Amino acid sequence: MKNVLIIGLGRFGCFTAQKFNELGMQVIGIDADETKAGAAIPYATKILIGDCTNMDFMKTLGVNNFDLCVVAIGDNFLASLEVTSLLKDLHASYVVSRASGEKEEKFLLRNGADYVVFPEREMASWTALRFSSEQIKNYIDVTEGYAIFEVTIPKDWHGKTIGEINIRSKFGINVLGIRDAQFPMDVTMDISPSSLLPVDGSILVLGPTSRIRKVFHL
Ligand code: ATP
């Protein structure tokens, strides 16, 4: 089981704690504000109250024993930068810091962050893409220029098999799953040329973003 230290238990830190907890990880949460810290109690093994810009307090945490440290301070950039840098000085093995602007992202990476998350930008980009077309049901960026989309099955594909349409050779995209609208909670992942595309449903496809947009007229 991995153990994670989350510094800053505002909404972002608290949701992160909840998700890590659901994933079976051991969560220790810290906040300078007792009221904020309270919200994370159900998701953490231990909650500590303290100012993480204070080196003496940080030294007591044994940050090098955590598999992952998340700096979830959003508004106070100076505090976020100081905490990130202190974590690295104390030999934290992997530090993920939260940025709210591109300049901040750069500074954090130069001062000890191994990875920077930019929730507002990531969520904004997802929201714009997800709702840019009624055909898009879900979307995940895989790497630059490649994505997984869940899209409504085009009308002229209804009732045909993957092999009949010859999706991979003809369009250069891979079908990863099929969701029949009659059973919306299930996604068939066992895809073969004989997999049938339902009249009402969606498919998960992986490929170059530009190609997927073209094929499905997104
Ligand atoms: P969110 O956007 O996640 O809701 P927020 O807007 O409530 O957060 P932020 O300023 O982004 O507040 O800070 C996130 C949390 O980090 C807050 O609960 C704050 O008390 C805590 N925090 C800020 N500075 C420190 C610090 N030096 N040490 C410990 N906790 C801190």
- 119: CA distance to ligand 1 center in Å? 14
pLDDT of residue 111: 96
For 124-145, the pLDDT digits (tens) are 989 998 999 999 999 998 999 9
- 74: CA distance to ligand 1 center in Å? 6
pLDDT of residue 125: 87
Nearest ligand 1 atom to alpha carbon 76:
10
Return left, alpha or beta for 60; rule: phi > 0 is left, psi -120 to 50 is alpha, else beta.
alpha
Using CA atoms, how far residue 195 sits from 6, 54, 160, 163, 201, in Å, is: 44, 59, 8, 8, 13
Q: Is any atom of ligand 1 closer than 6 Å to the C-beta of 7?
A: yes
- 76: CA distance to ligand 1 center in Å? 7
pLDDT of residue 11: 95
Q: What is the mean pLDDT of residues 106-122?
A: 94
Contact 185, 179 (CB under 8 A): no
The protein residue with its alpha carbon nearest to ligand 1, atom 5, reads 10
For 178-195, the pLDDT digits (tens) are 999 999 999 999 999 999
Q: Is any atom of ligand 1 closer than 6 Å to the C-beta of 17?
A: no
pLDDT of residue 205: 97
The model's confidence at residue 201, banded by pLDDT at 50, 70 and 90, is: very high
Contact 218, 151 (CB under 8 A): yes
Residue written as token pair 């040329």:
193
pLDDT of residue 101: 84
pLDDT of residue 102: 85
Q: Is any atom of ligand 1 closer than 6 Å to the C-beta of 8?
A: yes
pTM for this predicted structure = 0.85
Give the count of beta carbons closer than 10 Å to the beta carbon of residue 98: 26
Give the count of beta carbons closer than 10 Å to the beta carbon of residue 185: 5
> How does DSSP classify residue 161?
B
3-state secondary structure of 165: helix
- 26: CA distance to ligand 1 center in Å? 21
Give the count of beta carbons closer than 10 Å to the beta carbon of residue 200: 11
| Higher pLDDT among residues 1 and 193, named by residue | 193
- Cβ neighbours of residue 3 under 8 Å, at least 6 residues apart? 25, 26, 27, 28, 65, 66, 67, 68
Q: What is the mean pLDDT of residues 99-123?
A: 93
Q: Is the pLDDT of residue 1 over 90?
A: no
Q: Is any atom of ligand 1 closer than 6 Å to the C-beta of 75?
A: yes
Q: What is the mean pLDDT of residues 166-170?
A: 92
Q: Is the pLDDT of residue 100 over 90?
A: no
- 157: CA distance to ligand 1 center in Å? 50
Nearest ligand 1 atom to alpha carbon 8:
16
Handedness of CA 100, 104, 106, 107 (dihedral sign): negative
Residue written as token pair 């869940």:
150
Nearest ligand 1 atom to alpha carbon 33:
20
For 9-30, the pLDDT digits (tens) are 999 999 999 999 999 999 999 9
Mean pLDDT of the chain: 95
- Cβ neighbours of residue 49 under 8 Å, at least 6 residues apart? 30, 31, 32, 33, 34, 37
Q: What is the mean pLDDT of residues 39-48?
A: 95
The model's confidence at residue 116, banded by pLDDT at 50, 70 and 90, is: very high
The mean-pLDDT minimum among 5-9, 53-57, 67-71, 143-147 falls in: 143-147
Q: What is the mean pLDDT of residues 113-130?
A: 92
pLDDT of residue 134: 92
